[in-house]
Amino acid sequence: MLGGKRAINAIIATIILVIISVSFSIFAAFWLGGITKHYQDYEKLEIVSCTCTYSSDVWKITIILENEGNSEISIRKIAINDLDVNAYGSSRPDQGSASTDVPPGGLRLVGGETSVLCVYIDGPKGTGLYGSLSVGTSVNIILYSSSGMEYRAMIVLP
């Protein structure tokens, strides 16, 4: 009689060990899957082209962007020669300032998407922060994403 109880205890112990092993394996698989997913998402914004035109005392810089990564990118802030753009969602800058057609909430690009954004700078006849810019001046444009990445483009004013 005592030998039968020992056999049952061994079977129960084996079943408990198998359950614990399977549970640990499932936990490890989900944990590693979560880590892998985190490293698979990446942000890569390509500046395809950058052109500039001058008309009516305003430089218009057109930038074509392509999100080559697989995560969404949101352009939240734009700077010209390390000075923040004054107005968002506007195609006409105030005297001596700069504006962009990027909405105030930012420009969102999903993976593989291409978009165009424009930056407008008040011309050389103006005063203020951008009054010193003239034909032949190099302008450094910095696009800041919501994740903290910086994307730069350099252009010479025509």
pLDDT tens over the chain, length 158 residues: 455 566 678 888 888 999 999 999 998 888 877 766 666 677 888 999 999 998 888 899 999 999 988 888 999 999 998 888 888 988 888 887 889 999 988 899 888 899 999 999 887 665 666 667 788 888 999 999 988 889 999 999 88
For domain 45-156, the CATH architecture is: Sandwich (2.60)
Domain boundaries, the chain: 1-40, 45-156
Cα separation, 80 vs 30, in Å, equals 45
The tokens 């499932």 sit on which residue? Answer: 26
pLDDT of residue 4: 59
Per-residue pLDDT at 32:
77
How far apart CA 153 and CA 158 sit, in angstroms, is 16
Q: What is the pLDDT of residue 97?
A: 84
Distance CA 137, CA 1 (A): 99
Place of tokens 């407008």: 120
- Residue 2's pLDDT is 52
> What does the alpha-carbon distance between residue 79 and residue 59 come to, in Å, rounded to a whole number?
15
